[in-house]
Copies of this chain bind each other. A is one copy, B any other.
Amino acid sequence: MKKILVIGLLLMQVIMLKAQQEDVTQYVDPFIGTQEMGHVFPGACAPFGIVQLSPETDSVQFFNEGKYNKEVYRYCAGYQYTDQSIVGFAHTHFSGTGHSDLGDFLVMPTVGKVQHNPGTIDNTSRGYRSMFRKKTEKAEPGYYAVELDDYNIKAELTATQRVGFHQYTFPKSDESHIILDLTHGIYNYDGKVLWSTIRVENDTLVTGYRITRGWARTNYQYFAMSFSKPFKTYGCSNDEKVKYNGFWRKFDQTDNFPEMAGKALTANFDFDTEEGEQIKVKFALSAVSTEGALKNMLAEVPHFDFDRTRNDVKALWQKELSRIKIDAPDEKKTAFYTSMYHSFIHPSEYMDVDGQYRGLDHNIHQAEGFTNYTIFSLWDTYRAQHPLLTLIQPKRSSDMVNSMLAHYEQSVHKILPIWSHYGNENWCMIGYHAVPVIADAYVNGIKGFDADKALEACISSANYDRYEGIGEYKQYGYVPYETSHYGASITLEYAYDDYAIAQLAKAMGKNDVAEEYLKRSEYWRNLFDGQTGYVRPKDKNGDFLPNFDALDTHGAGFIEGNSWNYSLYVPQNVGGLINEMGGKERFAEHLDSLFTMHIPDAYFEHTEDITREGIMGGYVHGNEPSHHVAYMYNWAGKPWKTAERIHEIMNTKYLNKPDGLCGNDDCGQMSAWYIFSSMGFYPVCPGSGEYVIGSPSLNEAVLKLENGKQFTIKAKKASKKNIYIQSVTLNGQPYGKNYIRHSDIVNGGELIFKMGSRPNKKWGVGDVSEPYSNN
């Protein structure tokens, strides 16, 4: 018996080990979302790395002689899946944003005559650009490959946190080149590059930098570029319209002169290559200095073994993605792990290996005791992306809070980030949504940051009167239409953010503060129009805006959402909202209408980042303000309808194909929605400590928590048809609440759903999440 037991245990261990060791990176398809609206990139990056080394398929000038080119929007990530030529490989990309920037340091291998002009998308022969066949493209976490047909070069890319690693396999030629174009960029215009330099330290090492004025008002990007083989010669052109070269009379800057500088530099490095000879390029970034970039390179890639780095970064992805192990059909694994992958790109580590980084004041700071992050698309990501990280990446979540507090310290306005990247505030979108990220982290037990400082920062942000009507918000109880044409959206979001401050204060035992902000969290009521049943903008006199159209999307009091959707944005007090809207039944009908109504084409004219594929009736999944809406049936006593909507969204808005994302992934927010929803719950009201249960679609999900505990979610009999919760147990005990607390998850345990093809209308209708009342 003992022997059998031992063998049995051993077998179990082997099975468990095997399960643990399953390569989940295989399920990630970086091409998903690279066509049309997803705005993600297919290239190589490490988890949360500052390098996103990815192909550029067009170089669009967005602003030329005062004219705006809308086409730039399609190239937020520098890439459209359907394109057939590649300009080169650039080192920085946003993942899934609805506004663009970056695309720094384009590198392109070529053969033949040196060309410094990129050519055009249709005519690659006019420049260094190359045609490629889609079938030669390969992308996986930390690796991208393609064959450049114009030159018979195979290009392979991998990356660590701070270093892009290129491997180019050349044909035989005495005219092989590697082009470095410092004029290329995303959201590019003549004038974006304020200054750039290239310094040839020796015949294998080049350093330099560029300072750009793009979406980031002043972006300092330094590099160190190391070649595996000495170049024989090099050259440079400077394509400035008006250039002043008086100081340069002694040297020809274009020919082997090692100190190039200007606003429009493109350089070539020249080689003799044998057939199949590989030239490797390591390209390290820093926001501090070229010295910092070199330090980063030496620390992260002190060799030229491409495969080693590729394997290392793959192992990193495997480790990170394995934080949630799922059991599901492969198709769902692909959707799930690709979502995980997209959720683990931003925010990105923004400091040198020694902790130095460029702060919001553009001084160099030392990150003491934390890892500094950048790329905070907070209006998007406070909803589910940050809550996801707080749940399964608590260490990083703490670091991100510290990063936002450092931003606050460095802010001349003394406020937390709104939308920040690379030491810049770009002021995009509305609200002060760093607040709920911090509150959610604190309430959910994230440690490692100064809570007093955090509360101070939140309060300071919520009282910066000159920022988008905060002064008026405090004075009138809403942001009047005169102050902002998005005043209604802003009011709703401020109210929610104020709830988050109240939660933070309450958790810290500061009840007077909690009370004050809890009051402010009810300001949504000031814009609720009982007559129409919608939230509606008001002017300073307190009169609702006339000629109100609840379907109008933009400028009529709202932004990235119409009143139909935005009126539902009271996540902190859904119960209160339902009362205003006439009770549960009317509320459920309102939701039904939203999901089934027909939207006339005219309403799409002014929206740039959603498509008809992205909507369900009037519900818009491609934009964030509705991301919690499908979960609201829970408060109406109809959780099975939540299940139906959730599954419809998962099945129709997240498709495993390049154009499978119905809207911008928004730095992981769209993906985080999927991750939560497929597990069966969602943070409708971050900061409440609660997740609202929807309907799981995975057979099993095991959260491997950083505290060493595991939380297992099983959905028994889950299938395409069996989307309805029949019953639930938590750690073996029957569970009737339609929400689950964060603490229940992180304490470890097992949540078991029994699923069926028909609703159990008795489950989950009694005990709903009530953040406002419970405060």
Q: Does A63 contact B (CB under 8 A)?
A: yes
Q: Does A215 contact B (CB under 8 A)?
A: yes
Give A241-269 as 1s and 0s: 1 = Cβ < 8 Å from B's Cβ atoms: 01010111111000000110101000000
A 198-248 contacts with B by CB, 8 A: 199-201, 207, 209, 211, 213, 215-218, 242, 244, 246-248
Residue of B nearest to A261 (CB): B217
Instruction: Choose one: B189, B216, B242; the contact of A244 (CB below 8 Å).
Output: B189
| A364 close to B362 (CB less than 8 A) | no
| B289 close to A364 (CB less than 8 A) | yes
Residues of B within 8 A of A426 (CB): 247
Copies in the complex: 2
Nearest CB of chain B from residue A233's CB, rounded to whole Å: 13
Q: Does A548 contact B (CB under 8 A)?
A: no
Residues of B within 8 A of A363 (CB): 289-291
Q: Does A150 contact B (CB under 8 A)?
A: no
Instruction: Choose one: B63, B189, B201, B250; the contact of A412 (CB below 8 Å).
Output: B201
Residue of B nearest to A212 (CB): B195
- Knowing A247-B215, A426-B247, A468-B250 touch, does A195 contact B197 (C-beta < 8 A)? no
Q: Does A576 contact B (CB under 8 A)?
A: no
Residues of B within 8 A of A217 (CB): 247-248, 261
Residue of B nearest to A418 (CB): B250
Q: Does A413 contact B (CB under 8 A)?
A: yes
Once the chains are docked, how many angstroms separate the CA of A201 from the CA of B251? 43
Residues of B within 8 A of A466 (CB): 251
Once the chains are docked, how many angstroms separate the CA of A251 from the CA of B289? 31
- Knowing A244-B191, A247-B426 touch, does A199 contact B258 (C-beta < 8 A)? no
Q: Does A361 contact B (CB under 8 A)?
A: yes
Q: Does A427 contact B (CB under 8 A)?
A: yes
Once the chains are docked, how many angstroms separate the CA of A251 from the CA of B484? 12
| B362 close to A197 (CB less than 8 A) | yes
Nearest CB of chain B from residue A441's CB, rounded to whole Å: 27
Residues of B within 8 A of A406 (CB): none
Instruction: Choose one: B65, B201, B290, B412; the contact of A362 (CB below 8 Å).
Output: B290
Nearest CB of chain B from residue A411's CB, rounded to whole Å: 9
Instruction: Choose one: B66, B213, B259, B413; the contact of A195 (CB below 8 Å).
Output: B213
Once the chains are docked, how many angstroms separate the CA of A195 from the CA of B194? 7
| A364 close to B361 (CB less than 8 A) | no
Residue of B nearest to A294 (CB): B363
The size of the chain A interface, using a CB distance under 8 A, is 47
| B197 close to A194 (CB less than 8 A) | no
Nearest CB of chain B from residue A52's CB, rounded to whole Å: 21
| A413 close to B258 (CB less than 8 A) | yes
Residues of B within 8 A of A361 (CB): 199, 207, 290-291
- Knowing A412-B258, A468-B250 touch, does A211 contact B213 (C-beta < 8 A)? no
Instruction: Choose one: B244, B259, B412; the contact of A200 (CB below 8 Å).
Output: B412
Give A458-488 as 1s and 0s: 1 = Cβ < 8 Å from B's Cβ atoms: 0000000011100000000000000000000
Once the chains are docked, how many angstroms separate the CA of A189 from the CA of B242? 11
A 272-295 contacts with B by CB, 8 A: 289-291
Once the chains are docked, how many angstroms separate the CA of A190 from the CA of B209? 23
Residues of B within 8 A of A467 (CB): 250
Residues of B within 8 A of A195 (CB): 194-195, 211, 213, 218
- Residue in A197, A199, A217, A426 with the greatest tally of chain B CB atoms within 10 Å: A217
Residues of B within 8 A of A290 (CB): 361-363
- Knowing A199-B361, A258-B413, A412-B258 touch, does A427 contact B247 (C-beta < 8 A)? yes
Residues of B within 8 A of A251 (CB): 427, 466
| B199 close to A412 (CB less than 8 A) | yes
Residues of B within 8 A of A412 (CB): 199-201, 258-259
Once the chains are docked, how many angstroms separate the CA of A258 from the CA of B415? 13
Residues of B within 8 A of A216 (CB): 247
Residue of B nearest to A484 (CB): B250
Residues of B within 8 A of A259 (CB): 412-413
A 361-403 contacts with B by CB, 8 A: 361-364
Once the chains are docked, how many angstroms separate the CA of A194 from the CA of B248? 18
- Residue in A209, A244, A427, A467 with the greatest tally of chain B CB atoms within 10 Å: A244
Once the chains are docked, how many angstroms separate the CA of A191 from the CA of B289? 24
- Residue in A194, A218, A248, A250 with the greatest tally of chain B CB atoms within 10 Å: A250
Once the chains are docked, how many angstroms separate the CA of A191 from the CA of B242? 8
Instruction: Choose one: B65, B194, B289; the contact of A194 (CB below 8 Å).
Output: B194
Nearest CB of chain B from residue A613's CB, rounded to whole Å: 29
Nearest CB of chain B from residue A238's CB, rounded to whole Å: 12
Once the chains are docked, how many angstroms separate the CA of A250 from the CA of B242? 32
Give A115-147 as 1s and 0s: 1 = Cβ < 8 Å from B's Cβ atoms: 000000000000000000000000000000000
Give A733-749 as 1s and 0s: 1 = Cβ < 8 Å from B's Cβ atoms: 00000000000000000
Residues of B within 8 A of A200 (CB): 412
Residues of B within 8 A of A190 (CB): 242
Once the chains are docked, how many angstroms separate the CA of A209 from the CA of B291? 22
Residues of B within 8 A of A242 (CB): 65-66, 190-191
| B364 close to A213 (CB less than 8 A) | no
Residues of B within 8 A of A209 (CB): 362
| A244 close to B213 (CB less than 8 A) | yes
Residues of B within 8 A of A249 (CB): 427
Known: A207-B361, A216-B247, A217-B261. 17 other contacts (CB 8 A): A63-B244, A63-B246, A189-B244, A191-B244, A192-B244, A194-B211, A195-B218, A197-B362, A199-B361, A211-B211, A250-B467, A250-B468, A258-B412, A259-B412, A289-B363, A289-B364, A291-B363
Which 5 residue pairs of A and B lie closest in terms of their CB atoms, listed nearest first? Answer: A291-B363, A289-B363, A194-B195, A258-B412, A250-B427
* 25 pairs, A vs B, C-beta closer than 8 Å: A189-B244, A190-B242, A191-B244, A194-B194, A194-B195, A194-B263, A195-B211, A195-B218, A207-B361, A211-B211, A215-B246, A215-B247, A217-B247, A217-B248, A247-B426, A247-B427, A248-B427, A250-B468, A258-B412, A259-B412, A289-B362, A289-B364, A290-B361, A290-B362, A290-B363
